[in-house]
Amino acid sequence: MIEARSITKFFSVVNEKGLAEGLTAVLNVSLTIPDGKIFSLLGPSGCGKSTFLEILAGLQAPTDGEIRIDGSRVLEPLPSTRKEMEAYKRRYRFISPVANGVFRDHPKHDIAMIFQDYAVFPWMTAIQNVNFALKLHKIPRAQRNERARFFLNRVGLAGVEHKYPSQLSGGMRQRLALARALSVEPKIILMDEPFAAVDALTRERLQDDLLKIWGETGVIIVMVTHDAPEAVYLSDEVVIFSPGPGTIRNRISIDIPRPRRRSDPEIIEIQDRIFAMLQYDLDQESEYSI
Ligand SMILES: Nc1ncnc2c1ncn2[C@@H]1O[C@H](COP(=O)(O)OP(=O)(O)O)[C@@H](O)[C@H]1O
Ligand SMILES: [Mg+2]
């Protein structure tokens, strides 16, 4: 279970006059995501979705609030080298001795993150990409190749393991990113607009592949998207962010059993409702800015 408790993220930015000013990217967001569920975060660009996702992953620290996974608090990814550990301790030296307890028993959260753009390393072949993730997770060298092949196979990439990302189609690259994420058998997969860069048909196939793998593994999936149909088709719950400081505007549970049909009138009806909300927000925003 993931619990986000009153997450706020504040950035200091320099405005066009060269003056420092504050920007609230995420404001007081609380959300509980139960095990085995798919949640989508939906909203216009700039509403804080990526920031919130990175806070869930521990890649950014919130200004206020906390993230707990299965009850233990997420700070940042566990340092994997002595040098990183030193930097980590320096960064947190001002926090209280109580919080410093986390250095001793830092819980390991099994989270894999898939980014939109640089999801795979272009200088590594498909299998090297997966092996690299396995290495980071301290899987013994002797087991890596076999395990990498297993997961490449699972996402339909058998036969292209020695190709470089530039030799793969966009859809295949995203499959590779998925294989790499799955290979470490995470409990949670976080995805930031994972299918935004592929054509519509490939996108639908990838969505179905994702659902199939999710059905087999039961991971928690939290996905950022700006595509309402994608969110409704995939998710147990769609969380809609409002523009401006990112707050939760609406939460829509989708109880339609799977497998779902994209043309199901119930699905279309929910999509339309979401479109109307997003449209309303955009209209409001442009009224303010005139
Ligand atoms: N590191 C940063 N420094 C300053 N402002 C940032 C930073 N990261 C994001 N922002 C700002 O925070 C807001 C939310 O950004 P983001 O989370 O990327 O939105 P989304 O993913 O919904 O498009 C935007 O206004 C963005 O410019
Ligand atoms: Mg984003």
Does the pLDDT value for residue 126 go beyond 90? yes
CA distances from 219 to 79, 131, 143, 212, 257 (A): 24, 21, 23, 11, 18
The CATH code of the domain that includes 124 is 3.40.50.300
87 lines ligand 1 (CB under 6 A): no
11 lines ligand 1 (CB under 6 A): yes
**pLDDT tens column, 27-79:** 999 999 999 999 999 998 899 999 999 899 887 888 999 999 888 877 655 56
245 lines ligand 1 (CB under 6 A): no
With CA atoms as reference, report the closest residue to 130 among 142, 141, 145: 145
Percent of the chain residues past pLDDT 90, beyond the cut:
51
Of ligand 1's atoms, which has the minimum distance to the CA of residue 45? Answer: 23
**pLDDT tens column, 188-245:** 999 999 888 788 888 898 899 899 989 988 899 999 998 999 999 999 999 999 987 8
CA-based torsion, 217, 108, 60, 119: positive or negative: negative
Tokens coding 151: 């997961």
Distance 48 CA to ligand 1 centre (A): 6
Cα 194 from Cα 234, distance rounded (Å): 13
If one counts the domains in the chain, the total is 1
CA distances from 155 to 59, 94, 176, 227, 230 (A): 26, 45, 8, 23, 19
Residue range(s) defining the domain that contains residue 28: 2-289
pLDDT interval class at 103 (50, 70, 90): very low
Of 9, 10, 11, the one to substitute when testing ligand 1's pocket (max ligand atoms within 8 A of C-beta) is 11
Biggest distance spanned by C-alpha atoms of the chain: 63
Question: Is the pTM value of this prediction over 0.75?
Answer: yes
- Is there a contact between 161 and 144 (Cβ–Cβ < 8 Å)? no
Q: What is the pLDDT of residue 25?
A: 95
